[in-house]
Amino acid sequence: MRRILLSLILCTQHASMSFASGPAVFYTASFGDNRSVDLSLAEGGPARDPAFDFEVVITLTEFDGGGAELYRDGGRHRASVRCFSPAVVRVNSVNYMVDVSTRPGTDWKHDLWAALCTAPVS
């Protein structure tokens, strides 16, 4: 049942992303020279691997201090996310444990996990 609900949440997010002006930003890294890099969910769906809940594609975009786009990475960075304990984000066959108590904005892996696994359900 949980897997079905999570799939519905992601499908709803994906549908809303397609109507928005761009992918859904889940993490922003800021740098001292007023540049920032956004990590965004470009695609997603239920994981094929039963050890995970979601498979997503992440995009990276760099902005200057005024919000003008400086660079958009054309790569398709794939990740898998496990919502249940132990929380994990897998990138390139490497599992990264997620500290679910981390404050938002501290770690991109936590924020990716939170964007997918803690979305409110009405």
| Closest alpha carbon to 56 in 37, 77, 75 | 77
pLDDT value of residue 36: 96
pLDDT value of residue 12: 45
Select the more confidently predicted residue: 32 or 87: 87
Peptide bond before residue 86 is cis, with ω within 30 degrees of 0: yes
23/89 Cα distance (integer angstroms): 19
Q: What are phi and psi of 86, to 5 degrees?
A: -80, 135
pLDDT in tens, 63-105: 999 999 999 999 889 999 999 999 999 999 999 999 999 999 9
pLDDT value of residue 35: 95
The pTM assigned to this predicted structure is 0.79
Q: Exposure of 91 by Cβ count < 10 A (0-12 exposed, 13-18 middle, 19+ buried)?
A: middle
For 30, residues 6+ apart whose C-beta sits below 8 A from its C-beta are: 36
Mean pLDDT score of the chain, rounded to an integer?
A: 85
Percentage of the chain surpassing pLDDT 70? 80
pLDDT value of residue 73: 94
Select the more confidently predicted residue: 20 or 78: 78
Percentage of the chain surpassing pLDDT 90? 74
Written as six digits, the tokens of 60 are 């990276």
Beta strands 69-72 and 36-46, pairing class: unpaired
Q: What is the mean pLDDT of residues 32-44?
A: 94
